[in-house]
Each structure stands twice: as structure tokens, then as C-alpha cells.
Amino acid sequence: MKPDHAQPRPLSQAQPPVCVLKLGSSVLETDADYQAAAQEVFRHVRRGEKVIAVVSALAGQTDALLAQGERVGGNGAEPHPAFLARLARVGELQSAALMGLALARVGLRTRVMDPDEMGLMAEGEPLDSDLASVDRDALHSALSLNEVLVVPGFTAQHAKHGVVTLGRGGTDLTAVFFAAEAGAARVRLIKDVDGVYAEDPAQNPDAERYAELDYGKAAEASKGLIQPKAIWAARDAGVVIEIAAMGAAEATRICSAPARKAPARPQRPLRVALLGCGAVGAGVLAHLKARPELFELNPVLVRRPETREGEAGVVFTADLDRALAHRPDLVIEAMGGADYPATIMEGVLASGASVVTANKAALARHYDGLHAAARQGGGRLAYSASVGGGTPILEALERLVRAGGVRRIEGVMNGTANFLLDRLAEGANFDAAVKRAQALGFAEADPAADVDGHDAADKLSLLIREAFAIAVDPADIPKDSLADVSADKVQRAREEGLAYKQIGLCELLPDGTLKAEVRVRPVPLNHPLAGARNEENRFVITGSDHAVHALFGKGAGRWPTAAAVFADVMDIQRRLSEPEAQSKARKGEPDRPLRLRA
């Protein structure tokens, strides 16, 4: 297996599909809601979509700003409408910045653009204008360089008035406008209800939800829920509007189709067992606690429960049987290690529950046994975060394999190693770089798995399984150690226009053999992998058609990894909430524990 120093081919210029999400004040009530909103955006990014996230102000903020404007500019007089519009938009501008911060925390490449930065122009009165145009080049440029573009709704620029707003509910209109301009076939409006109902579900719990509505019927049935101007704009542009709740699979579709009611969807919260509550586990726990309507949490397994006392609403235990009591629907493994966690997961899967894990060591060493147990029990084994952390590389591979296959994968796939090499390039010595990585939560107390390439080899073996359906023992993959690369060597390379990276490579050669290795080597600064910074991961995938695809994201840290784990959790929640799955729910004794393999 020889190192490959060939230059990468130019990246594919094909753009992924665009999804427009509107996140309104009904779901952005407090600062904490931006994390759930970021999770909703991440769900679409990992499906291979570019996302335009159109956001409203926090609940009540626009009313407070208008009232303030009335106090200052009114008092018996009519407040100046153009100045009032300028004040009213402040909540949306603030909200867009907060949304950008939440998305950056989970590792998504994000651009936040205000109306003047993208030439978003409107026509009409200062407090009730209609959108007219946008700088499409600026829009497409932002989408080509980022996974997410965040746009403040409700406001735009005006040739005469300077700043205008789009009327009550104007963020709906912004979302529809961007869907039309970006060529998206649909726009998804995230509300505090899961669709349009024939009656108010708050008044009648048995009210029927519409599966589909035509635009005219929707304007009647959704008064107060959707801005009417947005409905007519969608009709004129041929854009489908989806009304959905945060994280929901189902939605009411507003389109050119007759009204149709949706079947009843009885739903019970999933019982969840969380095994381990370190950095990643604690992040997952925060997500679970934020959705009590979807999840019932078993006692959380930790080594020392006495140190976790005082956390509201959570019980901790060191007893595995107690953590797995009441036959959970879903088990989240966040323990670390390889053999012992794999034994637990195999037993859980064989008993019919689903499992989510980020444990690449357990998966790499026990791949066949874990998948066999999942087939036996009928549950799902999900492990998106095991490779790439918050970078959805496994989902991308699945799409490319379905589309025709993969020839080669090359990647910076260990965020800790990349962080260490960046510190060496800056002049830090190796021990100081490791201590800094440990302090930031990127490196374990024993960093050998990252430093010596074992972690990258585990990930590479999983990528080989997914791309080529070939079993390769991580121990058989040649590896270089970062400990063999001095700070002086890394710095000299940077001066020569090169960047040292720990790069995992797997390639299916013309003769049918597989090349796989983990090397620490210099690459030119214009190489797609050279730009990976700190804990970032980058992957370059060459398809069977020779098209080259690049993926970027944070590969280490609590929140990017927790976001990927929780995305798997939500996928399983949506799957198990389907009527067919509900009807097949296990009906065993409620206190009967899961059967674990010896």
C-alpha cells in the first residue's frame, strides 16, 4: 500500500436540492429553542439538501417593539411608518444572528445575510410591502459555499422608504419568495401545530387534520396560521407549502389538489435508555429533555451516579438492568470502549429495540454481529455520528452508492488529530497541543487512539463497509503516528506551501483489490483537505462516474456529535410513530427487562 500523492480532480459543480424552512415565533419562544431549530435544519442537511432558513423574531418581540415605537413616536400622533418599520425589523435581524450561532455550534457551514447584503427589494407601503426581487447571484454564491443560508423574514429594502416590513406573518411570505427564487418545489413552514385542522385542536382534541388542501381552501381553513399573501404567492409561483411541527414526518400540503383528511396517528412517547453521560451523552441528554412530549427517559447509566445528583428531571444509576428496565423502544449507547458495549447492543437489538451509537470502535470490531442482531430483532441500528461527528458522510455515501457507486474516499476524519497538527503548525510542542485538546474536550485522557491513527482506521473500516461492502479489520490498515511528526517539520512544510494532515484513504483499484491506509502527510494548501481547521473533518469522495464530491463539518466536540446522534434518534422516533409501527408495538410485560446476550 503506497501513499498516494496524486492531485485531486476538480470538485463537481452540481448543486444539491434546496429546502426552504421557515422557523416562526410560535417555535422560537426562548433562546433554548434555537438548538431545536438547529437540529431541524441539520436533519435536512444530512439528507443532502442545502437549506435556506427563514426566521422570525422571538415570540412577543415584534409586538414589544411596535408598542415601544407607539410610545415614543405616537402619544396622540401617528408614528412615522418608515421609522416604525425600521424598528420592527430588529427582532428578525437579532433572531437570524442567533440562528447562525446555534448552527455554527453543531458544525454546519452557515452564512447569515441581511436584506441589504442580498439585494432583497420590496414594493408597497412601509408596514405592508410585497417582495419584488433579490440578487440571485449573491443567493446562489452563498448556497454554493455553505450548507445553510439564514435569512431574516418579515423585512426587506425599499427604493423609497429604505426599510420596510411585509405585514403580519410576513416571514411566511419571505419563505415562499425564497423557495420560488431558489427553484425549490416546496417550502416547509414550521409551526407549533403539525398541520392545518378542520377545527381548532386546542378546543377539540379529536379535530381532523388535513393531509392536503388547495390554495383557496387553505386560505379559509388556516386563518391566523399562515399569512394569506404567502398562500397566493405560493399558488402563483407553483410552490407547495407544507405546514409541519418541529421534527415531524407528516405535514399538511397546500397545493393544487382537492382537500383530503389525514388518517389518525395515535402516538405515544418512546421509552429511551441512555447508556453513558460523558461529553456527547450529556449533549444528547439535553436534546432528550427538551422534547418530553416525544421521549420518556429511563434512569441514565453512569459510573458514579452520586456525582450527578441535583439534575432536575433525571435519575442516574450505575445499574445496567435498571437503565434497561421497562423494555425501552430505543437505547442510546454513549459508553465508549468496544467489546462490552457491543455485547450490550447486540442483546438490545436481538430483543427488538433500536440502537443509536457513535461508537466506531464497537462497530468496526463487531459490525457483522450487530447487524445480524438488528435483523433478528427487527429494530434499527443507527450510527451516523460514528464517522465524521457532525459531518454526514455515511448518508452521503448511501446516496452515492444508490446512484451508481463509489471509487475512492479520502478524508481528514479525526478532528482531534487535525486540531493537534494545527497547533504544531502554530509552533506549539506536542504535549502542550494534547493538553489543549483535552481541555477543550476534543481529546480523551489517553489520546493514543487519535494520535496513532487507530480511531481513523476504525472509521475507515466503516466507510469501506458502506462504500464497497468489504470487511477490513482496522488492525490490518497501515497507520502513521502523529508522534513521529515534529513541530519543526510541520512548520517547515507550511512555509513551503504544504499542510500536514492525518488522511484516511480507501480506493477500489482497477484490478478489484482495495487500497486502505491512514497516513500523516503533507498536501498542497490548495488541496480540498488542506483547509480543514481545528476539529473539522473533510471528505472527498470520487464516484464511479468520476464526479468528485466534498463534505465538511466538525468531527469532534460535544455538540456536533450530539447533533448527529440525536438526528438518528429523531429518525427512529418518526419511523416508530407511523401507524403501522404503532400497531406492531411490543405488548410484553411493561417491567420485563431486555434480554442481554451472555
Catalytic residues: 459
Q: Helices marked H in 224-381 — which ranges?
A: 228-237, 279-289, 320-323, 339-350, 360-377
Under DSSP, is residue 241 helix (H, G, I), strand (E, B) or coil? strand
Beta bridge partners of 241: 187, 254
Q: What are φ and ψ of residue 162, in 5° steps?
A: 85, -65
Are 406 and 467 spatial neighbours (Cβ–Cβ below 8 Å)?
A: yes
Beta strands in 46-96 (DSSP E): 50-55
Q: What are φ and ψ of residue 373, in 5° steps?
A: -65, -40
Distances (CA, A) of 582 to 189, 330, 454, 587: 26, 14, 41, 11
Are 115 and 155 spatial neighbours (Cβ–Cβ below 8 Å)?
A: yes
Q: Residue written as cell 454481529? A: 369
Beta strands in 226-267 (DSSP E): 240-245, 252-254, 260-261
Q: Which residues of 441-479 are buried (b: 16+ CB within 10 A; e: fewer)?
A: bbbbeebebbbbbbbbbbbbbbbbbbbbeeebebeebeb
Q: Helices marked H in 74-149 — which ranges?
A: 81-88, 90-105, 136-145
- Residue 150: all three cell numbers together: 439564514
Question: Residue 16's CB: how many other CB atoms inside 10 A?
Answer: 16
